[in-house]
Amino acid sequence: MKKLILSVAILATSLCANAQTLIKPNFKKGDVAHYENVTSMQIDFPMGAGSQQAKVTALSTITVKEANADGFVLEDLCTSIKPEGNEDLAENISDFIQYLENTPFLLQTNKDGEVIKIVNYNDVAAKISKGAVAKIDELYKKTPELEQQVPKAKLILALSTKYSEEKLIKTLKETGIYALYGKTLKTGDVAERNINGVKAKTTYTISSVLGTTAIVGTSKATMNEEDTKAYIANQIKEQGGDDAMAQQVLSNWAQFKQMGMDKIDLDMTETAHINKSNWITDYATKGVIKAMGTNVKIESNTKLLDK
């Protein structure tokens, strides 16, 4: 019997390997799912400048508020965030979610489950802004000399762009449980993506065994020199800098190049499993980003606790 089951599983895998699969959820109004996400990050700084580590554990509840032919409305509520390790790095991992603990946000999807709108964006933006501004005020109170480098007002102004509805949706769809819905994939498909600001190509492998669909995406950076410069300039602006400051940094490009700090590389593997109802039961990410001599190791695991 075990041999028969194994043979059937292998046959199913081979038959589905090259078939297109639409990752479309089959949610029902009133469905409730509880997820746990554990993300760890380690940064190794260049020239022996040391390293930092942090881990964040977050619990969330997803409730299907509406389900019809046009799509779904999902309530995503983060109920707990537990940071460990370096405080600044933990805040970087949490991103905007750290300001939304116990504050729901409503996501509108299309009929295939792709997120297209944040229904209560004004409320969400107000909560994020309040939390982020409080953090900035605290930072500048501790280190007032920062005002000479980046005026606090500019950093606060940059928040409106960093946390626009478009940017938030893009972040949700980059990686994680919302990243796959609405996609039609088959083994060998290659997609151009933007992962945390890094241009990359992802190659997919799809398999299906006994009602469970497994999706593996392997990503590598495709950043040329101009892309790298644009990435650096964008990072500076997100931290309240302006074009003049970005240009000042990039004026040292020849020196960066000589030191081997002029490249951005990314190697990442994502693995997801989806059940018969197309709920994602687990989503794991493991990768390394090498940027200007700094190595960033990321490992993230999201699992469905119950539904």
Residue positions counted in the chain = 307
pTM for this entry: 0.85
Tokens 């005020």 label which residue? 137
- 48, 299 contact by CB (below 8 A): no
Tokens of 25: 């959820």
pLDDT, tens digit only, all 307 positions of the chain: 444 444 444 444 444 445 678 899 989 999 999 999 999 999 998 877 789 999 999 999 999 999 999 999 999 999 999 999 999 999 989 999 999 999 999 999 999 999 999 999 999 999 999 999 999 999 999 999 989 888 888 888 888 888 999 999 999 998 889 999 999 999 999 999 988 889 999 999 999 888 889 999 999 999 998 999 888 888 888 877 777 888 888 888 888 888 877 889 999 999 999 998 889 999 999 999 998 888 999 999 999 998 7
Any alpha helices (H) in the chain, and if so which ranges? 2-16, 87-94, 121-142, 146-149, 152-162, 165-174, 225-238, 243-250, 253-258
SS3 12: helix
Per DSSP, 209 falls in state E
